[in-house]
Chain A
Amino acid sequence: MKEQEGHENYAPGRMSRRRSRHLGWNRRLAVALAAVTVVGTVSLGAAGGGAAGAASSTASSSVINLTWWTMWSGTTLQLLNTMVTQFNKTHPGIHVTETNIPSSATTSTAKLLSTIAAGDPPDIFTEWWPEIGSFAADGDIVNMNQYLTGQYAGFEKWEYPVAVQAASYKGGLYAVPMSLNSWALYYNIPVLAEFGIKSPPKTLAQFDADQAKVWTFSGSRIVTMGFYPDTDGNGFQFYTTFFGATNCFNKAGKYDFESCPGAKAEMNWIASFDKYPYAQVMAEQTALGYVAGGQTDIFTNGKSGFELSGPWVGAQNVPVSNPDLEGRFGVEAFPGIVPKPSTLGQGNFNIIPKGSAHPAQAFEFISWLAGYHNESFVGSIDPTGGWVPAGPSVTKAPAYQKWLKANSWLSGFLPQMTSPYTQAPLLTSTQAQLFTAENTATANVLQKIMTPEQALKYIDQQANA
């Protein structure tokens, strides 16, 4: 019975009073600890949000804070920071904070959508993927027509027509260029000379013949490349103005590249490059560009005779990645079948997401960034970034003119901006699908997976889905 001592009240379902009191206190302590943890966590969260809210409301009482998301890094980011510093200095009532969101097209779109859905988007977002049409159709971005009054009444007329065309959806202006792109033909003077080509081609036939001379191989590997239409992911869309195939719609308003003579001519021209090794070209491009860090491509590396690209190659890529090429390349309008010069109207645009806290001030900032009533400053920045400005008056600024004189190749890009053959793709709700389909179709034609006819049909199917 001794072993039962201390357990005289024990029976299944009952326990000693002392043990019961002990366990009761343990339970109370556990419940109290759990409650303190929960309340403490909630309080910390609320305090953090409250503090931030208090800070912003304190700041907003005297200065309006704008948040600006961009995807750029490196030397371009430094230029942006210079612009932001200048804006903040000259606009004491507004303070812009630029945030770099390094991301791909999908991740940056996902991040932006998440913030819009959460009701806390950045005030300005620089998109670098053709999403303006999709965003505008879904009501994700602000129609800027409401701000085109007073001192901004002449804003659209101030811009290049193609800049307005590239940013308008159903009569509304939804974006302002951060930088316009102008596409022209770069040529490597010493590489062409090596193959007996003394001047850039003036016609498409001459171009095809010239570029074919430059291709050389060592085994299966490329030593020098003439030209390839899909380097850097710039496929079908970027050549449409040279072939009169930018906006091909049927009477029902659906995409109809299949029936478009210019589109057929262009896709057949692209198909003529299927004799060159797609895998080797893409391997070179991937190794140099996307893995190595972005500012090197086959032309910048001095291995290609020709490349279709924009001013950033001469302004940034070459000086950073291959200074030996400086002064040894030229720029010409691309010799398409449409009278030249022309370029695709396209670029990186600033948009104001739905739910932006200060859309009016956001528009003030992005119009300033474009150079509106700010030509002198933007004229000193844009050429160094390899950007074509949004309006022609910026190119007349003294700093821009000085840059033009020192870099004569840049003048190859400007006449195209006012050419009647220059066009922007009409913005639709399936703009992103169109662009993706065009790139996929181009790659498939170059790899002989699709015929040109199949490729055009594929583009129509995807873009009209």
Chain B
Amino acid sequence: MQVDVQAKKSAVTVARARRRGSLRSPHRRALRLGLLFVSPWIAGFLLFFAYPFFATIYYGFTDFNGVGAAHWIGFTNYVNLFHDPLFKTSLFNTFYYTAIELPLSTVAALGLALLLNMNVRGRAVYRTIFYIPSIVPLVASCMIFVWLFNPAFGIVNDLLIDAHLPSPDWFFSVAWSKPSFILLGLWGLGQPMVIYLAGLQGVPRDMYEVAALDGASAWKRFRYVTLPMISPVILFNVILQLVLCISYFTQAQVIEAADPGGPGTSTWFYVQYLYEQAFLFLKLGYSSAMAFFLFVISAVIMVILFRSSARWVYYASEQQ
């Protein structure tokens, strides 16, 4: 109690000193020391994030080609975006992919985590098996998928044909190209699965016991105990997956090396198109406008997500 009072007095003293504009010397030294240790991070942040961010906004209003001078052209790039059919196609493809992949991957990863959280023999082996795909290098997994799902040579179609089932053209079909990428995404669910697993193991056992004693069924225990308790983890994973979906690039770039944009530009993703504009067509001003547009869209989605989270995310600490 006495320590609390004296700590409060000290804080008041510091606050008064600050208002008088005369910080006591030890605090100033501590501040300088802290800034010194943080300075590498600050330098990196300014150099590799803040500067490129504001430079991108600026270049979006110019005709910059990457080498010569950047001439101000106002909103021309942004106006041209909305007259560019490939811009709309790439935006549609990206959000189509996001709208399907995000809920599917969330449900699938959570489902896997629930299964792997059960107390069964060999649980560690199963967890390893399901996690391994996520540590395979991304390019290698794309190459594997191209071979597995190749309509001419692939084993998947061989098995489907043997089973007298339809054998689609997967990555080479307008109808099946996006689902093929979604399947590829679902194959590498190891990381969100592990995060859900960690979240599930943080749910107090006694809550389940209490619920069981009250006669709650398995579904009700999941709905009213598990889901609320892991809702912060769900939010975290949803944000991560959302960012990955919106910035989808590597897989499409590797798989579509022979046919950029896929069949009928059905898998022409936004960041791919941005990359092509910048480094194939040397239109860095236009691609900067695209980048900033994507940032604005992403920011709006994140704001909506965070605002909505107040309704469905339960933080145990808020209740204490």
Q: A residues within 8 Å of B by Cβ?
A: 11-13, 27, 30-31, 34, 104-107, 109-110, 113, 116-117, 129, 131, 134-135, 138-140, 219-222, 233, 278-280, 282-287, 289-291, 354, 430, 432-433, 436, 440, 443-444, 447, 449, 465
Instruction: Name the B residues within 8 Å of A113 (CB-CB).
Output: 66-67, 279, 282
Q: Determine if B88 is an interface residue (Cβ-Cβ < 8 Å).
A: no
A290 proximity list for chain B (CB < 8 A)? 257-258
Which chain A residues lie closer than 8 Å to B270 at the CB level?
Answer: none
| B67 and A286 within 8 A (CB) | no
CA of A110 to CA of B152, assembled, Å: 34
The residue on B at minimum CB distance from A354 is B67
CB neighbours of A135 from chain B (8 A) = 282
CB <8 Å contact, B7 and A283: no
Asked whether any CB of chain A lies closer than 8 Å to the CB of B259, the reply is yes
Complex contact B36–A31 (CB within 8 A): yes
Interface CB pairs A-B, < 8 A, 14? A12-B3, A13-B10, A31-B36, A106-B280, A116-B67, A279-B169, A279-B173, A283-B152, A283-B172, A289-B258, A290-B257, A430-B281, A432-B280, A436-B260
Residues of B within 8 A of A (CB): 3, 6-7, 9-10, 13, 24, 29, 33, 36-37, 65-68, 80, 84, 143, 146-147, 150-153, 161, 167, 169, 172-174, 253, 257-261, 263-265, 275-276, 278-282
Contact indicator B261/A440 (Cβ below 8 Å): yes
B111–chain A nearest beta-carbon distance, Å: 32
Contacts of B172 in A (CB 8 A): 278-280, 282-283, 286
Q: How far is the CA of A283 from the CA of B173 in the complex (A)?
A: 10
User: Which 9 pairs from chain A and chain B are nearest by CB?
Assistant: A279-B169, A279-B172, A110-B279, A283-B152, A12-B10, A12-B6, A449-B264, A283-B151, A138-B65
User: What residues of chain A lie closer than 8 Å to B147, measured between beta carbons?
Assistant: 287, 291
Of B13, B143, B264, the residue contacting A13 (CB under 8 A) is B13
- CB pair A27–B29 under 8 Å, yes or no, is yes
Main SS class of interface, A: helix
| Beta-carbon contact of B67 and A138 below 8 Å | yes
| Complex contact A107–B152 (CB within 8 A) | no
| A27-B29, A27-B33, A449-B264 known; A134+B282 contact, CB < 8 A | yes
With a CB–CB cut-off of 8 A, which chain A residues contact B263?
278-279, 282, 443, 447
Contacts of A110 in B (CB 8 A): 278-279
Question: Least Cβ distance of A30 to chain B in Å?
Answer: 7
User: Known interface pairs A107-B279, A109-B282, A138-B67. Does A287 touch B265 (Cβ–Cβ under 8 Å)?
Assistant: no
B33 touches A30 (CB 8 A): yes
Establish whether residues A444 and B264, one from each chain, have CB atoms under 8 Å apart when the complex forms: yes
Q: Are B258 and A280 in contact (CB under 8 A)?
A: no
Which chain B residues border A11 with CB–CB below 8 Å?
A: 6
Residue in B closest to A448 when the chains form the complex, CB atoms: B264
Given A116-B67, A286-B258, A291-B146, answer yes or no on A279-B281 (Cβ-Cβ < 8 Å): no
B251 to A: closest C-beta gap in Å: 14
CB nearest to B284 among chain A residues: A113
Determine the distance from Cα of A104 to Cα of B265 in the docked complex, in whole angstroms: 19
- Report A404 CB to chain B, min CB distance, Å: 33
Closest-CB distance, A44 to chain B (whole angstroms): 15
Known: A286-B150, A286-B258, A440-B265. Contact between A280 and B169, CB under 8 A?
Answer: yes
Whether A283 and B153, one on each chain, are in contact in the complex, defined by CB atoms closer than 8 angstroms, is: yes
The answer to whether B67 and A12 touch across the interface, beta carbons within 8 angstroms, is: no
| Inter-chain contacts of B80 with A (CB < 8 A) | 465
| In contact, B275 and A106 (Cβ under 8 angstroms) | yes
CA distance A149 to B260 in the complex (A): 43
- Asked whether, in the complex, the Cβ of B265 is within 8 Å of the Cβ of A117, the reply is no
CB distance from A303 to the nearest CB of B (A): 10
Task: Quote the shortest CB–CB distance from B283 to chain A (angstroms).
Answer: 9
CB distance from A274 to the nearest CB of B (A): 12
Q: A13, A129, A440 — which one has the most chain B CB atoms within 10 A of its CB?
A: A13
CA of A30 to CA of B275 in the docked complex: distance in angstroms? 44
A282→B264 contact, CB < 8 A? no
Highest count of chain B CB atoms <10 Å: which of A117, A282, A284, A287: A282
Question: A92–B126 Cα gap in the complex (Å)?
Answer: 64
Q: Which residues of the partner chain B approach A283 to less than 8 Å between Cβ atoms? A: 150-153, 169, 172
CA distance A109 to B151 in the complex (A): 32
- Complex CA–CA separation, A34 to B40 (angstroms): 10
Asked if A432 and B281 make an inter-chain contact with CB atoms under 8 angstroms apart, the answer reads yes
Q: B169 contacts A12, CB within 8 Å?
A: no
**In whole angstroms, what is the CA distance A129 to B257 when docked?**
14
The smallest C-beta distance from A4 to any residue of chain B, in angstroms, reads 12
Q: Which of B10, B66, B153, B260 contacts A117 (CB 8 A)?
A: B66
In the assembled complex, how far is the CB of residue B24 from the closest CB belonging to chain A, in whole angstroms? 8
Once the chains are docked, how many angstroms separate the CA of A104 from the CA of B253? Answer: 10
CA distance A440 to B276 in the complex (A): 14
Please give the distance in Å from B178's CB to the nearest CB on chain A: 15
A13 to B167, CA, bound (A): 76
Whether A12 contacts B9 by the Cβ 8 Å rule is yes
Do B279 and A220 have beta carbons less than 8 Å apart?
A: no
In the assembled complex, which residues on chain A have CB atoms less than 8 Å from the CB atom of B9? 12
Q: Which residues of A have CB within 8 Å of B161?
A: 219
Enumerate chain B residues within 8 angstroms of A27, measured Cβ to Cβ.
Answer: 29, 33
Nearest CB to that of A284 among chain B residues? B152
Cα A51 to Cα B142 in complex, Å, equals 42
Chain B residues with CB under 8 A of A104: 253, 257
Shortest CB distance B192–A (Å): 28
State how many angstroms separate the Cβ of A114 from the closest Cβ of chain B.
8
- Closest residue of chain B to A113 (Cβ to Cβ) is B66
Minimum Cβ distance to chain B for residue A285 (Å): 6
A437 to chain B, nearest CB (A): 10
Bound-complex Cα distance A465 to B87 (A): 13
Known: A140-B67, A432-B280, A440-B265. A447 touches B174 (CB 8 A): yes
| A70–B275 CA distance with the chains assembled, in angstroms | 21
Whole-angstrom distance from the CB of B203 to the nearest CB of chain A? 41
